Structure 1
Amino acid sequence: MQEQLFSEKLSHIKNIIIVLSGKGGVGKSTVSCQLALTLANMKYKVGILDVDICGPSVPGILGVSNKEIVQSQDELKCMSIGFLLKNKDDAVIWRGPKKNSMIKQFIQDVCWKELDFLIIDTPPGTSDEHITLAELLRDFKNINSIIVTTPQNVSTIDVSREINFCKKLNIPIRGIIENMSGYVCPCCKEITFIFGSGGGQKLSNEYNIPFLGSIPIEPELANAEDNGINYIKNFSNSVTSMQFTNIVNIILN
């Protein structure tokens, strides 16, 4: 009975994309939110689920951290434990079973209604949250994951473990995104590769996974996310916005 109810909930969602990385600090939440905003800007019905229980970033990036509702100013449906905390600085000190129960509730009890895409932002690693998602979504047909890395070897080594995790649990990988790939000067727009480049492409070649694109560091993006501004809408001509548009077009095709 519970499995049937769960299937009915997911039947209104056409596509699910899980954003993953074995490494912390690579910008999964940035990629998740900007992908969701890009799709919403293209008039798709989009939801974003933040399952980073101990470090929820999505509400702040979308500018809804102080709201009790689960819908942003851009008509993008959103759910995160961040909405349930009395203070945004409160620490969530939970063991695995409680985290797993909350993730089930987020998927099963939230009124997502009709969605073209549900983007799921995950914590780093291959632990309870990831295993719970894999178990809950194993019968959902149109599910894919996107792997996020930065150019350095210290990142790509950890990301390799995430790729192997997806393979073991039969989670399809749509592609790899290299984040923080160069710094865009706000004055001349010249790109300097301060962290190197090519890590994402190297992983793509090694594991025969599509390379979706590179996202540079732009000061305007960091400022927009800190202030809950829709970067895709307000900086549509930026290098980063155009890169996210290109990546989404690849995903759609």
Structure 2
Amino acid sequence: MQGRVAVVCASTTGLGAAVAEALGAAGAKVVVTGRRGDVASEVASRLPAAAGVGVDLLAPGGTDRLVDFAETVFGPVDIMVLNGPGPRAGRIIEVGEEELGEAVDSLVTVHHRLLARVLPHMRGQGWGRVLAIGSSAVVAPISDLALSGIGRAALASYLKMLATEVAPDGVTVNMLLPGRIRTERVERIDAERALRSGRPLAAERAASAEAIPARRYGAPAEFGAVAAFLCGAPASYVTGSAVRCDGGASPVL
């Protein structure tokens, strides 16, 4: 992907940062995004060719500001990595009506706005990559991550339909589903579960790892490597897929 322009949403920490690093190492020009511009710029400074921008995608005009920045600094966007902060943890019976709307807005509506801006260029040039960072909850619901599962499942359906429509134009659309990857968000979820169960945090993490066939959490760099493959030329025949990176944890094929 040498010289391709990639935008990675919510890429100052966690899985987004891991994907930005992997795309940068593969030769892409990367736009690092986050609500804090100083942090985005600091992350970008560690990549071979990157620029950081502070933007709240949920704010009015936020998506336009991001795409305008990318086009001004590097040119039209070839690779769009959709990502966003996950909704709060909680079970379905604890979910409020307003939170349902917020989950869909943050995980579907915002991404629809971004794609409306970048897809015309991708389709016009006959090459493009759309990759969404999802969750294994898309294929196997996680009881205490109800809002995340609802929002990301809706996004998965949206992307599957989109993939069918843009495939003739050389644009691939996929979702990458992480399992237990050692990020700050996963550490927070582990701490919340430990608090609810009354178990020590170390015991909670050990139990979570034991439930994974690989018997460990994944490393962010491992996730980033799969993302880079899906965004590159060798994956041109992979589209409309939900690819899991979860150490075998999901109980479905």
Normalised by the length of structure 1, the TM-score is 0.46
Structure with greater proportional strand content: 1
